[in-house]
Structure 1
Amino acid sequence: MSDIDQMGIVVDWVDACRTGDLAGLLDLYADDARVECTCNGTQHYRGRNELETYWGPRLSTFSSVGFGLEEINPVPHGIDLEYSIAGSLRIHASFRFSAEGKIYSTLCTPSPQNSHDGCAC
């Protein structure tokens, strides 16, 4: 696992989100990858088809309202990322990776919102 550029994979993930590249985004995930999203109730997705169902509408929104990278940090066993949507709604995503260099899990949770931005959710 030490030879895998986890930070680079997450930067590619960010680029795919910014450009709305669904196929490119899905290619970063392992075939049996899972996403858990707690932003609007807890939702679980597993495998390419379910990830496509999850990410498709979100990428369309990201590319139309704006997707910003706020923070990206290596953590034990992966990478943590904070991003913003429309300049105000902040999301925290934790990525874990397979030995083959693919994302095998993503956990998305709402981040504390900036008090001067108000709540966008």
Structure 2
Amino acid sequence: MSDFDQMGIIVDWVDACRKGDLAALLDLYADDAQLECTCNGARRYRGRSEIEAYWQPRLSAFSSAGFGLEEIHPAPHGVHLEYSVAGALRIQASFRFSPDGKIRSTLCEPAPQTGQMSCAC
């Protein structure tokens, strides 16, 4: 079992997204973290600079459109999160952590949608 609060880290992640706080969001990731997004074709981002390039244009759009926490729960080896953008677009994300309590990897993908919106993650 880990010595850090994985769920608390993801709550901080959600807060940073809601505020559009890129610096706070990036501080939650390990320096060698990976982010894989399968929303619009599989793309992988590695390291702080690539993750920053991924999140920078999305954060302002997410924070202005409204970023909602739909579901969060522990998962094998990490945390599973489902969030919404603009109240309708739903995205699933799975997080794994480094031993020092940083996000080591994120996998995001479209969740079952309630409307006709396309994924913006």
Task: Normalising by structure 2, report the TM-score.
Answer: 0.96
Q: How far is 1:76 from its partner?
A: 1.1
CA deviations 1:27-66 (Å, max 9, x no partner) are: 0000000000001111110000000000001101011101
Residue 113 (structure 1) aligned with residue 110 (structure 2): no
Q: Distance in 2 between matches of 1:107 and 1:18?
A: 19
Match of 1:42 in 2: 42
Task: Give the aligned partner of residue 51 of structure 1.
Answer: 51
Gaps of 5+ in 1: none
Structure 2 equivalent of residue 69 of structure 1: 69
Deviation at 1:4, TM superposition (A): 1.2
Give the residue type in structure 2 aligned to 1:61.
Answer: A
Identity %: 74
For residue 112 of structure 1, give the secondary structure of its aligned residue in structure 2. coil
Question: Any idea what SS the aligned residue of 1:56 has?
Answer: helix
1:60 partnered with 2:70 = no
Q: Give the AA of the match of 1:57.
A: P
Who is 1:25 aligned against?
25
Whole-angstrom CA distance in 2 between matches of 1:64 and 1:108: 20
User: Which portions of structure 1, spanning 4 or more consecutive aligned residues, are displaced by more than 2 angstroms?
Assistant: none
How many Å apart are 1:119 and its aligned residue?
1.4
User: What is the alpha-carbon root mean square deviation over aligned residues?
Assistant: 0.7
Question: CA–CA distance in 1 between the matches of 2:101 and 2:116?
Answer: 36
Cα deviation for residue 25 of structure 1 reads: 0.2
Tell me the TM-score normalized by structure 1.
0.96
Where does structure 2 lack aligned partners over 5 or more consecutive residues? none
Inter-partner Cα distance in structure 1 for 2:61 and 2:99: 31
Q: Secondary structure at the match of 2:95?
A: strand
How many residue pairs match? The answer is 118
